[in-house]
């Protein structure tokens, strides 16, 4: 059976964009294409996490679970894991 | 804000090899007095000497137009002051003065036109050439071998009308290069009519440029004289609305939506939260456009009914910096700030609808301070638009 794609949303609200969201948007340059093939990545506006204040920007939502303070390395790992478990 | 806009611009190419022109164009606006004076003067010959004479003439014409003396009388004073060339027995410089006065609401625009020895000005209603009566005054000056004729006319300009003035570098272009008599007035008139036909809303900047470029190419790209052309175009103003920031009170969201809906012109929504509010009020879907962003400016979004949706503070401060530094949009990366600037430069009147609710996320000490305060950035934008780009701006808080 064909696996359903991993749903990834990168927050591109102002707070997230300036604190690393912009780096994540370059995902084509640093994530393994094989992994990307199984993901559906989109940008989204402020997830409202930055206003709650637990954790730090940038925030990323993977299959509706929120991760905070995501950098490029962490992004690769999170996607790889999500694809494996899908 | 006025519902009529007077768009004036000019273009100029100097005689081949000259760094300074014998054609001088001057434009002054006195908004307090609802008065614009556009003067084109062509000094005999070219280069420095011609430039000095033409400047002298243009400045005199200007001064006199802003004084209470009537225009024909002013023209006479100029003529009497202008020296007559000893060898050639003709006067040293020519002029066309368009003195434009308008009512406060701009519903009536009166033109007082005085022409001396330049090619006659042309008028168009839409793409149709308009002809009109001119009264002629003859002057015999000491030392001149013939009487000189000043022509004078008065008329009104309406929406869609244009008045085009130019130096003989335009009408005589092409002389001896394929056109035995040059481009001539008829050729110029036909060309302008065709240009307007092709693009009925062509701006004065583009039209004057097109005319000058055409003359230049008829001269085989080595102009034989200074080529100068100015265009005055009366039209509806191009309006732009910029909505930024969530309203202070939640109840005002609807009012904001209403104001956006009713606005007659292009619309930009700047700010993530603001865009979400508009999307909810409009019932329109908001989708991010990941094809258009740069490292300084987050991606734009798309929404039905809004021409451009951008992130807020980063984009706005980038736009302010671009305007202040007068960067040409063509030199910018393809991001939302570029589109934003292009839309601003394409408008005559810019209205800011500013929500005053404070965004908690921006209180974060990790965020660079310069993106902090919406009002400061809007102040910068308005100042740059008014001082550098001569746009009208206005603002309301919600
Ligand atoms: S900007 Fe990303 S959660 Fe608010």
Tokens of B46: 């070219």
Cα gap B243→B62, rounded to integer Å: 41
A58 vs B contacts (CB less than 8 Å): none
Cα gap B303→B287, rounded to integer Å: 7
Instruction: Quote the pLDDT of residue B363.
Output: 57
Backbone φ, ψ for residue B160 (5° rounding): 95, -5
Tokens of B276: 């979400």
Question: Which of B372, B366, B395, B363 has its CA nearest to residue B382?
Answer: B395
List, in order, residues 6 or more apart from B358 with CB less than 8 Å away: none
Instruction: State the helix-helix crossing angle for B272-282 and B253-262, rounded to 10 degrees.
Output: 80
Hey, which residues 39-68 in chain A have their CB within 8 Å of chain B? 42-46, 50-51, 56-57
Q: Is the CB of A49 under 6 A from ligand 1?
A: yes
Q: Is the CB of A66 under 6 A from ligand 1?
A: no
Instruction: State the helix-helix crossing angle for B184-198 and B204-218, rounded to 10 degrees.
Output: 140
DSSP character string of B205-248: HHHHHHHHHHHHHHTTTS-SS-EEEEEEEEEPPPEEEEEES--S
A25:B273 CB<8 A:
no
Question: Which of B315, B318, B343 has its CA nearest to residue B241?
Answer: B343
- Counting every residue, how long is chain B? 398
Q: What is the pLDDT of residues A24-72, one digit of tens each?
A: 999 988 988 999 999 999 888 888 888 776 788 899 999 999 999 999 9
Using the mean position of ligand 1's atoms as its centre, give its distance from the Cα of residue B276 in Å: 13
A45 vs B contacts (CB less than 8 Å): 272-273, 275-276, 286, 288, 301
Using the mean position of ligand 1's atoms as its centre, give its distance from the Cα of residue A66 in Å: 11
B366:A14 CB<8 A:
no
Using the mean position of ligand 1's atoms as its centre, give its distance from the Cα of residue A6 in Å: 21
Burial code (b: 16+ CB inside 10 Å, e: under 16) for B335-363 equals bbbbbbbebbeebbbbbbbbbebebebbe
In this model, does residue A6 exceed pLDDT 80?
yes
Write down the residue that tokens 């790889």 correspond to: A80
Given A15, A21, A43, which is nearest B361 (Cβ)?
A15
Cα gap A10→A43, rounded to integer Å: 5
CATH topology of domain B5-235: Phosphatase 2c; domain 1 (3.60.40)
Instruction: Quote the pLDDT of residue B88.
Output: 67
List, in order, residues 6 or more apart from B32 with CB less than 8 Å away: none
Instruction: Quote the pLDDT of residue B175.
Output: 86
Given B288, B364, B371, which is nearest A44 (Cβ)?
B288
CA of B290 vs chain A CAs: smallest distance (Å): 7
Q: Are B167 and B89 in contact (CB under 8 A)?
A: no
A42 vs B contacts (CB less than 8 Å): 288, 290
Atom of ligand 1 nearest to the CA of A21: 2
Q: Is the CB of A13 under 6 A from ligand 1?
A: yes
Under 8 Å CB pairs connecting chains A and B tally to: 64
Please give chain B's pLDDT, 398 residues, in tens.
677 888 898 999 988 877 777 888 988 877 677 888 899 988 877 677 788 888 888 888 877 776 767 767 777 788 777 777 766 666 678 889 999 988 877 778 999 999 988 999 999 999 999 999 999 888 776 666 677 788 889 999 999 999 999 999 999 998 877 787 889 999 999 999 999 999 999 999 899 999 999 999 998 888 888 899 999 999 988 999 999 999 988 899 999 999 999 999 999 999 988 999 999 999 999 988 888 889 889 999 999 999 999 998 899 999 999 999 989 888 899 999 999 999 998 899 999 999 988 765 555 555 554 445 788 899 999 999 988 887 889 999 98
Measured between CA atoms, the residue of chain A closest to residue B314 is A14
Instruction: Quote the pLDDT of residue B371.
Output: 46
SS3 B186: helix
Given B272, B301, B371, which is nearest A46 (Cβ)?
B272
List, in order, residues 6 or more apart from A73 with CB less than 8 Å away: none
Peptide bond into B171 cis (omega under 30): no
B362:A15 CB<8 A:
yes
List, in order, residues 6 or more apart from B235 with CB less than 8 Å away: B4, B5, B7, B159, B160, B201
Q: Is the CB of A11 under 6 A from ligand 1?
A: yes
Q: Are B114 and B65 in contact (CB under 8 A)?
A: no
Using the mean position of ligand 1's atoms as its centre, give its distance from the Cα of residue A45 in Å: 7
Cα gap B148→B140, rounded to integer Å: 6
Instruction: Quote the pLDDT of residue B89.
Output: 65
Q: Is A35 on the interface with B (CB under 8 A)?
A: no
Q: Is the CB of A83 under 6 A from ligand 1?
A: no
Give the count of alpha carbons within 13 A of B63, CB side only: 8
CA of B207 vs chain A CAs: smallest distance (Å): 41
Measured between CA atoms, the residue of chain A closest to residue B295 is A22
Domain residues of chain B, as ranges? 5-235, 239-397
Q: Are B183 and B215 in contact (CB under 8 A)?
A: yes
Atom of ligand 1 nearest to the CA of A11: 2
Q: Whose CA is nearest to atom 1 of ligand 1?
A: A13
In the CATH hierarchy, which top-level class contains the domain A6-85? alpha beta
Domain residues of chain A, as ranges? 6-85
Instruction: Quote the pLDDT of residue B370.
Output: 46
Question: Which of B112, B28, B100 has its CA nearest to residue B70?
Answer: B112
Given A14, A56, A57, which is nearest B313 (Cβ)?
A14
- Residue A3 burial (10 A CB sphere; 0-12, 13-18, 19+): exposed
Query: How many helices and strands, by DSSP H and E, does chain A display?
Result: 6, 4
């Amino acid at each position: 059976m064909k696996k359903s794609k991993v749903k990834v949303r990168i927050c591109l609200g102002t707070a997230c964009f300036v604190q690393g969201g912009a780096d994540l948007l370059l995902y084509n340059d640093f994530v393994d294409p094989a992994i990307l093939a199984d993901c559906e990545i989109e940008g989204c506006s402020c997830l409202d996490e930055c206003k709650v204040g637990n954790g730090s920007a940038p925030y990323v939502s993977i299959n509706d679970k929120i991760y905070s303070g995501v950098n490029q390395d962490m992004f690769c790992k999170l996607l790889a894991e999500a694809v494996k478990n899908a | 804000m006025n519902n009529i806009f007077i768009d004036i611009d000019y273009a100029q190419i100097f005689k081949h090899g000259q760094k300074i022109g014998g054609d001088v164009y001057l434009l002054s606006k006195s908004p307090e007095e609802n008065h614009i004076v556009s003067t084109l003067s062509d000094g005999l010959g070219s280069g420095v000497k011609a430039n000095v004479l033409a400047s002298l003439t243009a400045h005199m014409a200007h001064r006199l137009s802003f004084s209470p003396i009537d225009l024909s009388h002013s023209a006479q004073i100029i003529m009497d002051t202008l020296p007559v060339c000893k060898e050639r027995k003709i006067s040293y410089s020519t002029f066309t003065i368009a003195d434009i006065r308008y009512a406060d609401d701009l519903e009536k625009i009166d033109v007082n036109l005085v022409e001396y020895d330049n090619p006659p000005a042309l008028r168009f209603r839409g793409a149709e050439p308009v002809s009109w009566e001119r009264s002629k005054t003859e002057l015999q000056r000491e030392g001149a071998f013939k009487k000189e004729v000043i022509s004078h006319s008065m008329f009104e300009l309406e929406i869609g009308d244009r008045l085009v003035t130019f130096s003989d570098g335009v009408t005589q272009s092409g002389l001896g290069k394929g056109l035995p008599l040059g481009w001539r007035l008829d050729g110029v008139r036909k060309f302008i009519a065709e240009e307007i036909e092709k693009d009925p809303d062509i701006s004065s900047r583009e039209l004057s440029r097109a005319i000058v470029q055409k003359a230049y190419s008829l001269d085989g790209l080595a102009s034989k004289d200074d080529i100068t052309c100015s265009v005055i175009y009366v039209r509806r103003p191009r309006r732009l609305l910029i909505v930024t920031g969530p309203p202070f009170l939640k109840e005002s969201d609807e009012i904001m939506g209403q104001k956006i809906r009713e606005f007659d012109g292009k619309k930009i929504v700047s700010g993530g939260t603001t865009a979400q509010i508009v999307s909810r009020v409009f019932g329109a879907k908001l989708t991010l456009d990941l094809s258009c962003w740069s490292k300084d400016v987050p991606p734009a979004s798309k929404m039905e009914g809004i021409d451009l949706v951008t992130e807020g503070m980063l984009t706005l401060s980038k736009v302010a910096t671009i305007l202040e530094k007068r960067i040409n949009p063509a030199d910018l990366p393809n991001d939302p700030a570029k589109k934003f600037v292009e839309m601003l430069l394409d408008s005559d009147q810019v209205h800011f609808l500013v929500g005053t609710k404070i965004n908690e996320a921006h209180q974060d000490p990790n965020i660079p301070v310069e993106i902090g305060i919406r009002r400061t950035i809007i102040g910068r934008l308005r100042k740059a638009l008014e001082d550098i780009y001569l746009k009208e701006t206005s603002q309301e808080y919600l």
